[in-house]
Amino acid sequence: MDTTSPALALSSSQAWAMLRESRLGRLAVVTEAGPDIFPVTFVVDGGSIVFRTAAGTKLDASDGKQVALEADGVDAEEGSAWSVVVKGRGREVRGLHESLDALFLPLTPLHPAAKPHLVRVEVTEISGRWFRTV
């Protein structure tokens, strides 16, 4: 990566690498009331993103629907930051084998509330930027 430029578009592989290092993102969905954003902990699983949730708006607005997820990070020592956005279709994990595989993913919620549902975002588009901070 040319670290002398003020901002750079990340390649697909660079964007995936940044996502693999992150665990916290923001899930964007569209509800009947309009757009909404939720913080989620997630993990990259192959070419998809998996997160846990409870029943409710987040699950209802992501299962079988188009969603976006954004994650970012800052390296204060290096003086840089990055942001990655993925778009795709959310799908609740339901099959026995996929459920068992997903249960072993390193998904750790931020708070102890029960989150029995797993949602996989089948990514169709990924983009990202790396830039120098002030």
Is residue 52 within 8 Å of 107, Cβ to Cβ?
yes
Burial of 53 (0-12, 13-18, 19+ CB in 10 A): buried
> Does any domain span residue 1?
no
Contacts of 106 (CB under 8 A, 6+ apart): 43
Residue type (1 letter), 6 = P
Domain enclosing residue 19, as ranges: 7-132
Mean pLDDT of all residues in 35-51: 95
The token pair that represents 34 in the structure block: 């309009």
Distance CA 42, CA 12 (A): 18
Q: Is residue 2 part of a domain?
A: no
- 48 in a structural domain: yes
In the prediction, which pLDDT does 1 show?
A: 54
| Distance in angstroms (rounded) separating the CA atoms of residues 74 and 32 | 34
> Which residues sit opposite 86 in a β-bridge?
69, 126
CB 118 within 8 A of CB 48: no
Note the pLDDT of residue 90.
97
- Is 85:67 a contact under the CB 8 Å cutoff? no
Asked if residue 97 is part of any domain, the answer here is: yes
Name the one residue in this structure whose structure tokens are 């909404």: 36
> Does residue 25 lie within any of the structural domains?
yes
Examine residue 126 and state whether it is found in any structural domain, yes or no.
Answer: yes
Q: Which pTM was predicted?
A: 0.87
- Asked, for residue 11, whether it belongs to a domain, the answer is yes
81 has pLDDT over 90: yes
CA–CA dist 53, 22 (Å, integer): 18
The most distant pair of C-alpha atoms in the chain lies apart, rounded to whole Å, by 49
Give start and end residues of each alpha helix (H) in 22-105.
Answer: 57-62, 96-103
The CATH number for 55's domain is 2.30.110.10
Lowest-pLDDT choice from 52-61, 64-73, 98-107: 98-107
Number of domains present in the structure of the chain: 1
